[in-house]
Structure 1
Amino acid sequence: MEGKEEDVKVGANKFPERQPIGTAAQTDKDYREPPPAPLFDPSELQSWSFYRAGIAEFMATFLFLYITILTVMGVQRSSSKCASVGIQGIAWAFGGMIFALVYCTAGISGGHINPAVTFGLFLARKLSLTRAIFYMVMQCLGAICGAGVVKGFGKTPYEVHGGGANVVNHGYTKGDGLGAEIVGTFVLVYTVFSATDAKRNARDSHVPILAPLPIGFAVFLVHLATIPITGTGINPARSLGAAIIFNKDPAWDDMWIFWVGPFIGAALAAVYHQIIIRAIPFKSSA
């Protein structure tokens, strides 16, 4: 017993109560982290991997819109929510597709599939401005094409049932919609940072983690919460693609919400994770 009590005392005092913060916390790392990306890297424009990554973002966002908008249209066309997959099914379609597509493209482009995610990672210096802009353009083009293919399957039903466009629903104000988009995107982008954090992977190396899984699950949960409010955007490319193909006033009236909200949410997540969470070390130098 005496030996065990001594072990407890040593363990209790092994780590000092005061921990360094900020830049002082970045010493004595037991993990390897890539250096911050440059603001502009001309060599990227001469690399095939740069354009391959953009093509991967285009194709992933195309497939994302194709599957998810078709699911929304199937629910809208049904005589009742009980005769279709309902809101839960829509949420599963969005979350499941993100899980699958991030898994497929993470090793090529990082699997962003969302300008808000790209923006948040850019603020954290995870990619250059050149790559960020290129990704956003390809994501938007992919979303437009994905929604366009869905409309091609049935123009009249597509237009009658709203085309999967995001709008602030009746009973909610524009402020409600903006708040829902900010918080929803914060949840998503914060999950992205946490799931791909080199520090977390080193600390929790005994816990197997598949990054696409928590990211897809975050998308699923956010959709469950905010579909009744805005139809859930949290992805400017998704909202823009559906609005351009649907091309009706209601979709354009609230479009600013589905860009401003996600970008604010992504910026807040980047600040919170990089400055607050990452400033506290998980290992003492003692």
Structure 2
Amino acid sequence: MALSSSPCTRAAIYTLANHAKITGYRIAEANRFLERQPIGTAAQGAGDDKDYKEPPPAPLFEPGELKSWSFYRAGIAEFVATFLFLYITILTVMGVSKSPSKCATVGIQGIAWSFGGMIFALVYCTAGISGGHINPAVTFGLFLARKLSLTRAIFYIVMQCLGAICGAGVVKGFQQGLYMGNGGGANVVASGYTKGDGLGAEIVGTFILVYTVFSATDAKRNARDSHVPILAPLPIGFAVFLVHLATIPITGTGINPARSLGAAIIYNKDHAWNDHWIFWVGPFVGAALAAIYHQVIIRAIPFKSRS
């Protein structure tokens, strides 16, 4: 009698085949939803299997923007947001400065909350119109990453600086004596620190802010985590708060050239201008480093223009 004709043998073969079928099905099911994260430049493949769409790089020049009302509306939004930012934050600084006792005021923590809280609120309000930059360093970093054109970047920076000047000017108009007698909220390197210390603090502080902006607005994360776009203003504002806690004793915390320029112009004393270059060079270097780190290292996205 052949081995395959035995009833016991046929039953055993059937059992093994059925078991293999079930096992194979379970393995297929287990592998069905495996997370596959390509590494490095492999993440920039054909893109057919991506569950998100990477926005195309913005062109360097886009003359058509100059004919669009949305372009000017975005600039106005940046102006108003930066105006309100300086108005609230410099008033807070003046309130702390005039207090005879630290226990009778919000102190450094309150100043930090003022800056961070206003950024949180203003980014939330203006993100859908202009992107909610409110900071030339943020605009510069996003420009380097090709998130906006040079035309728009220059326009934003000009409007941000004008808004900051007007915001600080209104504070001085309210209480000129207090404003001029307490430094006007101008950024200077504090006594006991060198210019190198101040520059380093501005570079690292702006890196933290701009890196947070990139992470909070990442197209990949927005697609996979539905809560990211909703919560984007929160980590940005919180980053501003934390950086202020750390660097107010060193430079008063700039990390925003428009904020530093507005206070310096309205205060207009020699010592406010002596270190002013630090509050442009530091933030722009920090923003550039954050853009390079996020685009090249974290996302491996090449810096190239749209063809």
The alignment's C-alpha RMSD in Å is 2.4
Preserved contact between residue 57 and residue 138 of structure 1 (Cα < 8 Å): yes
Cα displacement (A) at 1:201: 1.4
Larger relative contact order (Cα-Cα within 8 Å, sequence gap ≥ 6): 1
Cα displacement (A) at 1:81: 1.6
Instruction: Report whether the alignment pairs 1:56 with 2:77.
Output: yes
Alignment map for 1:94-105 (pairs within 5 Å): 94-105=115-126
Structure 2 partner of 1:115: 136
Q: What is the CA–CA distance in structure 1 between the aligned matches of 2:28 and 2:192, rounded to whole Å?
A: 58
Q: 1:37 to 1:90 in 2, by over 3 A?
A: same
Cα displacement (A) at 1:224: 0.4
Preserved contact between residue 236 and residue 259 of structure 1 (Cα < 8 Å): yes
Which ranges in structure 2 are unaligned for 5 or more consecutive residues?
1-21, 302-307
Partner of 2:55, secondary structure, is: coil
The TM-score normalised by the length of structure 1 is 0.91
Q: Deviations over 1:47-83 (max 9, x none)?
A: 0100010000000000000000000000000002211
Structure 2 partner of 1:27: 47
Preserved contact between residue 119 and residue 132 of structure 1 (Cα < 8 Å): yes
Structure 2 partner of 1:258: 279
Instruction: Report whether the alignment pairs 1:176 with 2:197.
Output: yes
**Paired AA for residue 55 in structure 2:** P
Q: What is the CA–CA distance in structure 2 between the aligned matches of 1:56 and 1:233, rounded to whole Å?
A: 21
Cα displacement (A) at 1:210: 1.3
Q: What is the CA–CA distance in structure 2 between the aligned matches of 1:104 and 1:23, rounded to whole Å?
A: 33
Q: Deviations over 1:170-208 (max 9, x none)?
A: 111100000000000000000000001111112323767
Instruction: Report whether the alignment pairs 1:86 with 2:107.
Output: yes
Cα displacement (A) at 1:19: 3.4
Alignment map for 1:189-204 (pairs within 5 Å): 189-204=210-225
Partner of 1:45, secondary structure, is: helix
The TM-score normalised by the length of structure 2 is 0.85
Q: 1:7 to 1:22 in 2, by over 3 A?
A: closer
Equivalent of residue 248 in structure 2, options 227, 245, 259: 227
- Identity fraction in percent: 81
Q: Deviations over 1:68-124 (max 9, x none)?
A: 000000000000221100000000000000000001100100000000000000000
State the aligned residue count: 278
Which ranges in structure 1 are unaligned for 5 or more consecutive residues?
281-286
Q: What is the CA–CA distance in structure 2 between the aligned matches of 1:82 and 1:235, rounded to whole Å?
A: 29
